[in-house]
Structure 1
Amino acid sequence: MSQDLESGHEGYALQDRSSMATVLSKRRKIDQELSQVKRKQEQLQPIQQALFDSTTSRDDHTSRVQVDSLESEITECFRRARSLAADAKSVSDMSNPRIHEQLTYMSENIRRHIEEYRRVQRAFATQLETQVRRRYGLVHPEASEEDIENGVQNILYGDEQAFQVQGMRSAKANEARDAVLQRSTAIRKIVEDLQSLNELFEEVGELVEMHQVPLENTVKNVENTVENYQKSTKLLDRAIISARNARKYKWWILLVCVLIVAIIVAVVVAWCKINNKC
């Protein structure tokens, strides 16, 4: 029987070590993906600045294509990181606090990188939108603030006709139009990526949150078990003390009985001697 128990414990220990090794392997791969995100962000920053600073249609198009490509690669890195975290969860015993701690770290690390990237992208999109609004206003000097805002929003939604200038006679107007359209395309790409990243952010969080209640229940059960064990131990201690006291009382009662019998015997013997009957 003891050999079966020992083999069972060994099996659980091996399984636990195997699960932990798998989780740590996934964590290393996730860290690699997030390192790639950082490197690609560093590459993305000067290209985004080039798009912002460009003054010709050709430079606009070249920079915008490069920006779109790097942004797609970064989003794909986050998708792979999310898949690795999901794989780690699927092969692990989430009731194991050590494994749950590792998955929590992976989830929070991915979410932290996503949030940082989203912040940078929102700021860049705001810069581009400000530039689009300014260039739209230059080409439409007669437009009111409301007309400019409506025109810009229409362009950002993909309506190229919203930037039509009567005749488009000047090269300057054509350059402005092309610049606005390139930037509006870049903004739409950022918005699409941010939507995907929002979904990834939520999915990664759910990997841990969906197991939080079962884990809390497990911890609570352990706490209850410990509490019950402590109560049982106290009751057992009291029972032992009571048993010991009971044994002491029995000996005292026996001693008292013996003394009483001895006293009675002594009284009887004395009475017999006095009356010459013994």
Structure 2
Amino acid sequence: MEMQPLTGAPGAPYSQSSTPVPQRDPNALLNECREVSRNLDIVETRLPELQRLQKNFTSGGGASAQQVDGLSADIMTQYRGLADRVRRIKGQPDAGNPRNRPQIDVLDRRMKRSINQFQQAESQFRKEVQEQQRRQYMIVNPSATEQELDEVTAAGTDVQIFQQALMNADRRGQAQSTLRNVQQRHEAIQQIERTLMELQQLFQDLDTMIVEQEPMVQNIETKAEETNTHLEAGNVHVAKAVVSARAARKKKWICLGIVVAIIIIVIAIIFAYGATAGHWFG
């Protein structure tokens, strides 16, 4: 029985896996993209509510710093979770499939635009809080220079500067309420800075996710190429073994033919000798 190559032979032991491979849903990534997009719609509907609270806070309309911070933190948590989902989608092995790539790119751009909207709202809020700080300082120190006003809006120094200005202006009676308002706005500025830093980090994570996944994809491709190379090498060895077996069998038949021919020749010589001598047929 001849040996067969590993591929292309019916019933070859290594041509198929005996264990069925589970089939991945071809629409899984597209469905995930649609789900993330729907959740982005929900988050974006909360941004106008956040902006309304921020304006009420800076205008003294009744919104507290706790309300603003709470809603902002909640929205930040939602963006963080959605950005993580986008990164996981982009890291899937079939994310580069021509069927999936366009939709994933659309989702990635949509995610970044949405984060940018949140950044703009926070940046505008920071600007309004800083402007309010400047106005408050001008009230307690009308002769303040531009440098002093810039220092007032610098993180970490505004409370001390306000306190000193109130003491110098001899407005001790209103110091407590003014300092409380200043402290709230100072904490608001710090929270805004933390939020903006985290949003910037989300942008960087979205941009670096593909780079982080590329070595993994390359490794998968390398392993696949190595497997294919080994399979081809195995086929070559098997093909050589088949040729060798055929050659050995051919040599065996040649040797057998030579032996038979020799035996026939020997028998012919013996009969010829006996006939010539006349002893066998007389």
Q: What is the DSSP-based 3-state SS (H/G/I as helix, E as strand, rest coil) of the residue aligned with 1:98? A: coil
Say how many residue pairs are matched: 203
**CA offsets 1:139-171 (integer angstroms, 9 cap, x no match):** 122432222322332xx3265322212165223
Alignment equivalent of 1:33, drawn from 39, 64, 81: 39
CA distance in 1, matches of 2:46, 2:156: 27
Q: What is the DSSP-based 3-state SS (H/G/I as helix, E as strand, rest coil) of the residue aligned with 2:43? A: helix
**Between structures 1 and 2, the one with greater helix share:** 1
Aligned to 1:246: none
Calculate the TM-score normalised by the size of structure 1. Answer: 0.62
Would you say 1:170 and 2:169 are equivalent positions?
no
CA distance in 2, matches of 1:32, 1:175: 45
Structure 1 pair 210–98 and aligned structure 2 pair: CA distance change class (3 A): farther
CA distance in 2, matches of 1:163, 1:132: 9
Aligned to 1:183: 185
Structure 1 pair 29–193 and aligned structure 2 pair: CA distance change class (3 A): same
Q: Is the 8 A contact 2:159 2:186 kept in 1?
A: no
Q: Is the 8 A contact 1:136 1:180 kept in 2?
A: no
CA distance in 2, matches of 1:137, 1:67: 26
Aligned to 2:209: 207
Gaps of at least 5 residues in structure 2 are: 1-7, 222-282
State the AA in 1 paired with 2:173: S
CA distance in 1, matches of 2:40, 2:92: 22
Q: Is the 8 A contact 1:110 1:204 kept in 2?
A: no
Aligned to 1:256: none
Would you say 1:22 and 2:28 are equivalent positions?
yes
Calculate the TM-score normalised by the size of structure 2. Answer: 0.61
Q: Is the 8 A contact 1:103 1:208 kept in 2?
A: no
Q: Is the 8 A contact 1:78 1:114 kept in 2?
A: yes
Identity %: 23
* CA shift for structure 1 position 79: 0.8
**CA offsets 1:187-216 (integer angstroms, 9 cap, x no match):** 21111101100010121123346679989x
Q: Is the 8 A contact 2:133 2:152 kept in 1?
A: no
State the AA in 1 paired with 2:149: I
CA distance in 1, matches of 2:82, 2:146: 44
Q: Is the 8 A contact 2:137 2:149 kept in 1?
A: yes
Structure 1 pair 96–2 and aligned structure 2 pair: CA distance change class (3 A): farther
State the AA in 1 paired with 2:103: Q
CA distance in 1, matches of 2:22, 2:46: 41
**CA offsets 1:45-64 (integer angstroms, 9 cap, x no match):** 22111101117xxx4xx521
Structure 1 pair 112–2 and aligned structure 2 pair: CA distance change class (3 A): farther
Aligned to 1:52: 58
CA distance in 1, matches of 2:117, 2:158: 31
Aligned to 1:194: 196
Structure 1 pair 69–80 and aligned structure 2 pair: CA distance change class (3 A): same
Structure 1 pair 79–160 and aligned structure 2 pair: CA distance change class (3 A): same
Aligned to 2:156: 157
Gaps of at least 5 residues in structure 1 are: 219-278
Q: Is the 8 A contact 1:22 1:88 kept in 2?
A: no
**CA offsets 1:60-108 (integer angstroms, 9 cap, x no match):** xx52111101111111111111111122233332341222222212211
